[in-house]
Structure 1
């Protein structure tokens, strides 16, 4: 290994000052290279040792008996940067809100799904959707809340169709103009999932009617199939639902509700002399909708909406935390209703609005084949509507709750998650390593690294590149207090309510120098 001397000259010097400095350095170099009048004492080489490197070799692996004299090299800082290429990555640029610190480049990391979608380079993305994956208390929700709240300064809005833990309610209440809709418990709020919703801009009457009809029948079929695990609607049952909906639209002046659809289904079951097959097909759907009218889901979705969607609010949150105490099935049915109610409003492309749709416990939107197909279609059309769906999962195993093993439903659920191009992977558990490699095509070195991430750190996959980001490094005290998910939340070395800051370049405590993945930390590597 040779040593080179590199001289730097500060900017702003005159020509005379530059020439004088070069003469002084040249004089010093000649004095250094001049022959010595007295012989130098040379230390004897260390005795040979035997070790893992072989007999006669020192621990360093070789003897260097005489220094190598290499002439100095002069260059500008622009050229010197080429001596050590790829040490720091260029990142995603400075468009969009700051989300954290890029630990590879030791620089601020900006992210906006709409900016990356507009980027035509290989750092751009073909989708605005984001998959967020990580273990409990890895910092997922706090980071997404940071992204959403900071994005509002850029004109973006946010919708949380179902807030199962009541975490987003505090965020909406803290943001001026935020709108919170609370369901269940002591609240008499009702949402009608069969609302027409506002007319979409730039479509004909026929197109608008077709879209409203399709959304309504999809909601009905999703509700029935979710309440009948493992069952699929037959053609006759689907026809009975459609017949009941059409009758209801006619009898109510195009203001259908789950209650009136249930009434029409009950009427169809008694018409055995008119159409025996249709009457039989209406039995199962009528029993499911009966739960919304007289059962454990009554008082929530069976009648006309008592609130409206504030289209101009920076954030709209539907707080369903009271409903989740009733069980998983109630939570799934409620999430289908609230999601459909929100989608009727936000799927207007010509409104020229960009919104985040945060899907906490996103697997609950994939409870049946009908809901999965609607979910997949919604993700595909997200960029068309100016929407960024943020799907949050604790682990890939969450999707095992969808359908049976090797069923069409479960395979479709895994396919939907894997097709989301932008991914934020937080700390994962030991058993999750193989799953993300197989399902998300994550390199083994990255999977090992994900097991050692600290709270608030995540691997970001955007386009063809990956980044190591620390989101909590830029958090403020106000954000930390607002975004923490529970009173027990504590950063390493801190206490509840106390924000700890970490140096982005202090990585030795997380990844040992001799770690197999240590080399990856020096640069962001392109994923092939």
Structure 2
């Protein structure tokens, strides 16, 4: 078994005979294939930028294949899958600690279409989509195009009412005392947010006590079915009491004037009484159309968004439903216009994981938060802190004015900020946990999705190009040409042609 194999002649193996005897043969001078000497190749010199382009291991492995496809990873030239819940349960270094998403970018950058692509494709994975307030009516078409989608229309003579003080379903895993305390905190938080947003100032201790007393009275009188109208009436009773303790009568005046707008003013017929609709737990997508109300001004839009969001949150804050939901917050800065609303928003973001919710906060620019409080105020600092703490971020094309805000407020690297200025429509920088990706969403969009999610119909170009040469048929040209008539070409004819014609017509 250890015998040495017999050598086969070179001729039998089809190899050419060596022209020069010896182990190296002619390869030493001619580069033959049996040359045993190593070839000397001069080193390649190039800049680090060019070397990075030819280095074979620059493509990232991505987030894996769990979750819906959201686009193409332009760095890896591979499909990019994303699900906030899959990223949250991922125990590797690519995992995240939050399910919420911040979407930031200038107008016509593809934000809305990308969000719609993500949530609609996620429906097949069992996730529900909830839009508490649709100020532009863009999501209505999406809900109507999806089988089973539900649209709740407010205003415009629909007669639909939502009660922001609804109790909502019972929280799972809580005692009776804990459940009652959570419901009471949500109700008083909604009332304070509405009143402080309208007044533009924080409630005093006396006003807070009067509002809390009115809510307790309304709950007792209505057998735990409080409404804004009921609280409004109780505040009127307190304001008329001359012997009320702690000057509660004085504290009831301002809150009552604010609620009067919702009960008897331009926002009446929407939120002051019992709800006339129910939230459909089984619908794949539920959209609250508030586009009719946003034309009444910014304050009306903010009050509407607070009431509709409070009604939605009362229903979906239930772990027993075993549903994972996207909550899309269009014009997200409207949820953060007062200290009380900011505190409610911050608490809601913290509890999102507990309830299986992914909040998608959409902003056009970081400057939107400058409308929150005064410069250096607690409100504005809290608003920037809330946005900065959202771990998952989708950054679309931004204007040059946003460079400083992105670096200081979101702590983005300078090269990424410069890249964000030159992104094409539908491209975005995705920050998931500690990793970043460059994604093109529209690279995977179908024609049906592209047409349904388009939001630039009013700015669409004409359906024909007037710059193209169009030949006119001779017969058609004759019909367009004016009729020939005899005219006097003399100087007298030119001067008197107009008066003569007018005389004949008269």
**Band of TM-score, shorter chain:** 0.7 to 0.9
Match of residue 324, structure 1, among 290, 294, 298: 294
Structure 2 counterpart SS, 1:379: helix
Does structure 1 residue 256 correspond to structure 2 residue 250? no
Q: Tell me: CA distance 1:26–1:339, structure 2 relative to 1, closer, same or farther (3 Å).
A: farther
The equivalent of 2:396 in structure 1 is 426
- The aligned residue for residue 193 of structure 2 is 222
1:81-480 matched pairs, under 5 angstroms? 84=55, 86-229=57-200, 231-275=201-245, 277-480=247-450
Q: How do 1:68-79 residues align onto structure 2 when only pairs under 5 Å count?
A: 69=40
**Residues 260-288 of structure 1: CA deviation (Å, up to 9, x unaligned):** 10000011001022336100000100000
Misfit runs of 4+, over 6 Å: 23-28, 494-497
Contact 1:137 1:489 (C-alpha < 8 Å) held by counterparts: no
Secondary structure of 1:35's match?
helix
Query: CA 1:450 to 1:266, structure 2 compared with 1: closer, same or farther past 3 Å?
Result: same
* Residues 1:119 and 1:364: Cα distance change in structure 2 (over 3 Å): same
How far apart are residue 201 of structure 1 and its match?
2.4
Q: Give me the whole-angstrom Cα distance separating, in 2, the residues matched to 1:165 and 1:175.
A: 19
Measure how far apart 1:25 and its partner are: 11
The answer to whether the aligner puts 1:35 opposite 2:35 as a matched pair is no
* CA separation of 1:248 and 1:85: change in aligned 2, threshold 3 A: same
What is the rounded CA distance, in whole Å, between the counterparts of 1:86 and 1:320 in structure 2? 50
The offset of 1:293, in angstroms, is 0.9
The answer to whether the Cα contact below 8 Å between 2:159 and 2:269 also exists between their aligned partners in 1 is: yes
Alpha-carbon distance change, 440 to 35 in structure 1, aligned in 2, over 3 angstroms: same
Three-state SS of the structure 2 residue aligned to 1:180 is: strand
Cα deviations by residue, 1:74-128 (Å, 9 ceiling, x for unpaired)? xxxxxxxxx9453211000000000000000000000000000011111111100
Instruction: Give the SS at the match of 1:243.
Output: helix
**Alpha-carbon distance change, 267 to 24 in structure 1, aligned in 2, over 3 angstroms:** farther
Is the partner of 2:457 in helix, strand or coil? coil
Contact 1:236 1:278 in 2 (8 A): yes
Q: Shift of residue 351 of structure 1?
A: 2.1
Does 2:475 align with 1:481?
no
Asked whether the 8 Å contact 2:206–2:246 carries over to 1, the reply is no
Deviates more, 1:127-136 or 1:202-211: 202-211
Distance 2:263 2:27 in 1: 97
Structure 1 residue 485: deviation in Å?
1.1
Contact 1:489 1:496 in 2 (8 A): no
Cα distance per residue 1:26-76 (max 9 Å; x no partner): 999x99945249xxxxxxxxxxxxxxxxxxxxxxxxxxxxx96359xxxxx
Structure having the higher Rg: 2
Unpaired stretches in structure 1, ≥5 consecutive residues? 1-22, 38-66, 72-82, 498-528
Cα distance in structure 2, aligned partners of 1:25 and 1:307: 89
Q: CA deviation at 1:224?
A: 0.3
Counterparts in 2 of 1:253 and 1:175: CA distance versus 1, 3 Å: same
Q: Using the TM superposition, give the Cα deviation of residue 367 of structure 1 relative to its aligned residue in structure 2, in angstroms.
A: 1.3
For the residues of structure 1 that align with 2:185 and 2:40, how far apart are their CA atoms? 80
User: Which residue is 2:6 aligned to?
Assistant: none
How far apart are 1:184 and its partner, in Å?
1.0
| 3-state SS in 1 of match to 2:29 | coil
Q: Is the 8 A contact 1:165 1:321 kept in 2?
A: yes
Contact residue 201 and residue 351 of structure 1 kept, 8 A: no
1:190 to 1:328, Cα distance in 2 relative to 1, 3 A: same
What per-residue deviation string (whole Å, max 9, x for no partner) do you get for residues 222-281 of structure 1?
00000011x111111111011000101111111111011000001100102233610000
The alignment of Structure 1 onto Structure 2 pairs a total of residues equal to 430
Q: Distance in 2 between matches of 1:36 and 1:379?
A: 74
Aligned-partner Cα distance in 2 for 1:110–1:435: 29
Q: Are the counterparts in 1 of residues 161 and 269 from structure 2 also a CA contact under 8 Å?
A: yes
Structure 1 stretch 274-283 or stretch 412-421: which is displaced more?
274-283
Give RMSD over aligned pairs.
Answer: 2.4
Q: Pick which of 184-193 and 281-290 moved more.
A: 184-193
Q: Distance in 2 between matches of 1:254 and 1:124?
A: 43
